[in-house]
Each structure stands twice: as C-alpha cells, then as structure tokens.
Chains A and B, each alone.
Chain A
Amino acid sequence: GAGVSQSPRYKVAKRGQDVALRCDPISGHVSLFWYQQALGQGPEFLTYFQNEAQLDKSGLPSDRFFAERPEGSVSTLKIQRTQQEDSAVYLCASSVGTSGGEETQYFGPGTRLLVL
C-alpha cells in the first residue's frame, strides 16, 4: 500500500495475556520506529530498527516488551503478560533511510490496545 499500515486496529486483552502488534512500513523504507501514545499524551519513542537490526530499544518500558523485524520489512511488537498500564495506542512509523538529511517519519494509524 501507499502508507504505513498496522494491524489489528483495535485489540482488547485480558490482564496477563500476550499480544502481538504488526506494522507494515512503506515499501523500501529502511528505518522503522515504534511509539506508545497514552490517552491525552504525545507519542513516546519505544524502539528503532535499521533494516533488521534493532539499534535502539531504550524506550521499551520493561522486559515484557519485545520487538522484531527479522527480514527488514514487517515488524512485530510483542507485549507479554499485559498489564492495565499497557493500555495505549501503539504507533509505527517508517522513514526512507538513515543518512540524515530530510528524513520524514511517516506514521501508521496505530493499534489501540485496551487491557482489562
């Protein structure tokens, strides 16, 4: 497709359940980012991939959060043993490359996660 797509768009999970959120970046984009957006807040950076390499995971809130991008295209954000505080919108963004310059990050529509 023309833009970044994410699935599912909505996810309701019971506390303690594992969830997996998928991101399809714009075709050919080297860089991929995950952000967490709590209600009424701005997005907060979670992790960054350059192709298949996870170069920065400093924003992941705990070791229950895990992200991968095994073939350098589609990425999955996995949350194990979900807690109520994990409820948020999870946004994925991609950009063309890594050489600096005018690297716009294009965002997907997000996955709205509600943990009961």
Chain B
Amino acid sequence: GQQLNQSPQSMFIQEGEDVSMNCTSSSIFNTWLWYKQDPGEGPVLLIALYKAGELTSNGRLTAQFGITRKDSFLNISASIPSDVGIYFCAGHPNSGGGADGLTFGKGTHLIIQP
C-alpha cells in the first residue's frame, strides 16, 4: 500500500540537541499528523495540522504543513531522554481529519546518546 516518504530513517543525537524530520508525498493530503510510538504501544498523536502553511507548536515540538500540501516537517527542540521512540507522519485526504484511513510514513527512529 501507499506510504509517505519519511526521512531520516534514524537519528542518533546528543541530549539537548534539536531534531528535525520531514515527510513528503507524491499526492496531496489535506490533513497532516505527527504521531510517536513507544515500544509495545500504539501511536500517540503529537500534533495535527489542518491548513496548508500552518505552523503549530506543542511544547518543544513544532510542525508545519507544507504550502503544496505534499509535505510536512517536525522539529523537536532541546531533546530529552523521553523523546526516544519512533515518530510517524500521517496524511489524511480530508481537511480536519474525519472518517477515513490514515496513510503513514515508515517512521523516524530517534535515539539519544548519553
């Protein structure tokens, strides 16, 4: 099935560093979402973006909905150990989410070195 192109595949960073990851698609999505998944758990929503060009923050997390509606990025500032996990982008065809399946990227593994 279709998946979004997410990069990088993995990141090894020092505690306190900033993190940036992005997601691209060949088709348009009208909603972009960023999830975090910890081992043995389901994905948890971090940030939802509903409008092209929108920039949204949630604490140390900032995400933007690309103006072309074919890309999004997520930044994490001043990383801490609990940021470790797998981050997924997801796209939805409708504006505002709704009752359709999400299309996910393959994930970015964030590893924080002591």
Q: Residues on B close to A: CB < 8 A?
A: 1, 3-4, 6, 35, 40-45, 48, 50, 88, 90, 94-107
Given known pairs A93-B42, A107-B44, the reply for A48 and B106 (CB within 8 Å) is: no
Residue of A42, A97, A108 touching B105 (CB-CB under 8 A): A42
Task: Summarize B's interface: helix, strand, loop or mixed.
Answer: loop
Contact pattern, A 33-45, Cβ under 8 Å of B = 1, otherwise 0: 1010000111111
Complex CA gap A59/B42 in Å reads 19
Q: Could you tell me the distance in whole angstroms from the C-beta of A107 to the nearest C-beta in chain B? A: 3
Given known pairs A45-B1, A100-B94, A100-B96, the reply for A105 and B106 (CB within 8 Å) is: no
Q: Which residues of A contact B43 (CB under 8 A)?
A: 43, 91, 107
Q: Could you tell me the distance in whole angstroms from the C-beta of B27 to the nearest C-beta in chain A? A: 15
Complex CA gap A21/B103 in Å reads 22
Whether A101 sits at the interface, judged by CB under 8 Å, is yes
Most chain B CB neighbours (cut-off 10 Å) among A30, A42, A48, A102: A42
